[in-house]
Amino acid sequence: MTPNDLALVGPILLPALAALLVILVDLLPGSQRSGGSFLLAVLGAAVSLGYTIHALMHDREGLAFFGTMKIDRMALLITLFVHASALMSLLLSKVYLDRRSDVEQPEYHAFVLTSAAGMAMLAGANDLVNVFLGIELLSIPLYLLVAMRKHQSRSVEAGFKYLLLGAFASAFMLFGAALLYGSSGSTMLTAIPTGIARIGNDTPLAAFGASMLLVGLLFKVAAVPFHMWTPDVYEGAPTPVTAFMATATKAATFAVLLRLAPTLGTALGEEQAANLLGGLAVLTMFVGNLGALQQLNLKRLLAYSSISHAGYLLVGLAALVRAHGSSVEAEAASSIVYYLGAYTAMSLGAFAVAVLIDGGKDREAISDLAGLGKRNPLLAAAMTVFALALAGVPPTAGFFAKYYVFLSAVDAGLIAVAVLGVLASVIGLYYYLRILLTMYVDEPKPGHEATVSRDAMVAAVSLTAVAFVLLLGIVPKGFVEAMALAH
């Protein structure tokens, strides 16, 4: 271990240290009421974010801790999304928690930070041990955060469901990791494909291991058929936690999937792995978009929308696996990272609006948005941008995100998957437009007028998100080039 190792994993250590500080400061006498834990947590998240940006700008990349951590451009970009999401979600929590008295705030803030540390660890993990620990370090605080409103049966039920199914998925992952180690002789992600090729491609052991690992990871990104928990958990969790879960978990888990792509290709065969992932992508896109059509609750709608976005991302992953070794591989990788950045911004923004209209009374129905266009035109405009971006309408980031992913699928020869993906997003258009119709056309039910407080914190979050969604959409080329991953 050298100081350089520590500097490289700074984006992981900083939020972890901040979490410990939050817990320690809470123990000081008289600190309970001052709200100091919030300030400390926001500071911790902001410093982590700043450090990541600094590392990105100065190309602080390399292997750390004997190669078990690989802090490359992809890891840093994903960490950037994770820390931005953590910071935004902490700001949203301030509004959400101040209207409720049933959540223990210092612990809440500490859990958000430790989960972010786990996600950052996952983004840089280059060893199966670190992958597993990262997954657990991101999940366990999330289980707790989901169940944090412990006097609300909905929240507790969601937490319990997530914990049980998550533990099940972890068991699959662990078994898969053990089989992969057994069939390759290494736990290092970069050494596994060569290990499998050397020890023997003819045994199905590696294919078994890779598939089981895949099951655990697909559970975390809410891909069909491991998506059952998503709507209930997203609905039951406190809204800022849902925002964090939906965006940052996806980003961190896709980082691992990107790193595992060569292993998947070697263990399952590139053609089969691409077909498997492509098939799951099509299923996920359709189940997500069709499921969203019937939802009346805004959080459930966003949950199904999140499932469908996992599907679009899987299209990119299928293209990546299939195009292994060609120039399309790098194109597919950067399209996934671009998608994750765009999704983080637009989804966080949509959840910020959900936090605002909730008004401390758990108002989450889509009909509660009625009349928002008249009462708060600015917020309605922001929500319009997010809905259009999620639907994939130009010139927002959502359009280019889908465009690049589908383009790489076509380039990799997965034309059917790309065509079905476009069809699925047309279905998606319907329910995003319904949000707009409700905001601008529908008259609110008496007693259900959107009581929107003007809150600087949420305004800042949604404006930042709007800025990013539009910026990424208007000058996508520059961002894609910045994200071009050295392969």
Enter the DSSP assignment of 185.
S
Total interface residues for another protein by CB under 8 A: 45
Encoded one letter per residue, x for contact with another protein by CB under 8 A and - for no contact, window 148-187 reads x-xx------------------------------xx----
**Cα-based angle 384, 385, 391 (whole degrees, multiple of 5):** 90
Residue 140 binds to another protein (criterion: CB under 8 A): yes
Stretch that binds another protein, among 64-72, 269-277, 385-393, 422-430 (CB under 8 A): 64-72
Encoded one letter per residue, x for contact with another protein by CB under 8 A and - for no contact, window 103-132 reads -x--x--xx--x--xx--x-----x-xx--
Residue 72 binds to another protein (criterion: CB under 8 A): no
List, as one string, the DSSP characters of 60-125.
--EEETTTTEEE-HHHHHHHHHHHHHHHHHHHHHHHHHHT-SSS-HHHHHHHHHHHHHHHHHHHHB
Least distance to another protein, CB of residue 118, Å? 8
Least distance to another protein, CB of residue 344, Å? 23
Q: Is the dihedral of CA 157, 162, 165, 168 positive or negative?
A: negative
| Polymer length of the chain | 487
- Within 8 A by CB and 6+ apart from 420, the residues are 282, 285, 286
Residue 92 binds to another protein (criterion: CB under 8 A): no
Least distance to another protein, CB of residue 31, Å? 12
Judged by CB under 8 A, the chain residues 11 through 50 that form the site for another protein are: 12, 16, 19, 23, 32-33
- The two tokens of residue 97 are 């928690």
User: In the block, which residue shows the tokens 């090729």?
Assistant: 197
- The two tokens of residue 112 are 């958000």
Judged by CB under 8 A, the chain residues 224 through 263 that form the site for another protein are: none
Residue of 37, 48, 52, 68 interacting with another protein (CB under 8 A): 68
Rg (CA), the chain: 21
- The two tokens of residue 393 are 């309408």
Residue of 45, 55, 69, 192 interacting with another protein (CB under 8 A): 69
User: In the block, which residue shows the tokens 């101040």?
Assistant: 98
Cβ proximity to another protein: between 117 and 397 the closer is 117
Residue 144 binds to another protein (criterion: CB under 8 A): yes
Residue type, 479: F
Estimate to the nearest angstrom the gap between the alpha carbon of 255 and the chain centroid.
10
User: In the block, which residue shows the tokens 């917020």?
Assistant: 379
- Cα distance between residue 150 and residue 317, in whole Å: 38
Q: Which residues bind another protein (CB under 8 A)?
A: 1, 5, 9, 12, 16, 19, 23, 32-33, 64-66, 68-69, 101-102, 104, 107, 110-111, 114, 117-118, 121, 127, 129-130, 133-134, 136-137, 140-141, 143-144, 147-148, 150-151, 182-183, 203-205, 208
